[in-house]
Amino acid sequence: MQLTKTTINALYYYGKTPRDVRWVGSSDGRFVSTWQEFLQLAQEVEDPKDYPSAAVPFDLVIVGVNWWLERSFISQGAQRWWILKELPRRQGRGTPLLALLGKRRGATATVAGLHRSLRGRGDRATY
């Protein structure tokens, strides 16, 4: 399938449209094109069905306001090789961070889960 089609399918899958795209380029922002310029280039690129094309740069991003699509090597069904990322939104005043490392090593946890476990034991933090 053409890169244009997989990209447009991903936009719609995530509730976005081509009109929501502000620019397309590299994730560091050094290389930039308009949506129309990207479409012209992408029409010539095939995005393989079972594995993302190595010819398509891994740092390619499609950027909107407070969101972007980035390439992934994991197929997620309809969106095919694109993952939506959004800027995190602060929740009111927020809760202060108390720790970034728990007592249990090697376990992947969320910040909220780590803080719940510390609160339950009366611990502060492990630094």
Gap between the Cα atoms of 40 and 43, Å rounded: 6
Q: CA of 88: how far to CAs of 8, 93, 123, in Å?
A: 24, 14, 28
Q: Residue 21 in contact with residue 62, Cβ under 8 Å?
A: yes
Beta bridge partners of 23: 63
Residue 33 · residue 25 · CB < 8 Å:
yes
Q: What are the domain boundaries of the chain?
A: 3-86, 95-127
CA atoms of 40 and 69, how far apart (whole Å): 18
At 119 the pLDDT is 66
For residue 57, how many other CB atoms are within 10 A of its CB? 13
pLDDT, tens only, 53-93? 566 788 999 999 999 999 876 655 544 578 999 998 888 87
pLDDT above 70 for 7: yes
Q: What is the pLDDT of residue 108?
A: 52
Across the strands, what pairs with 71?
82
CA atoms within 13 A on the CB side of 40: 5
Cα 90 to chain centroid distance, Å, stands at: 18
On the question of pLDDT at 113 being above 90, the answer is no
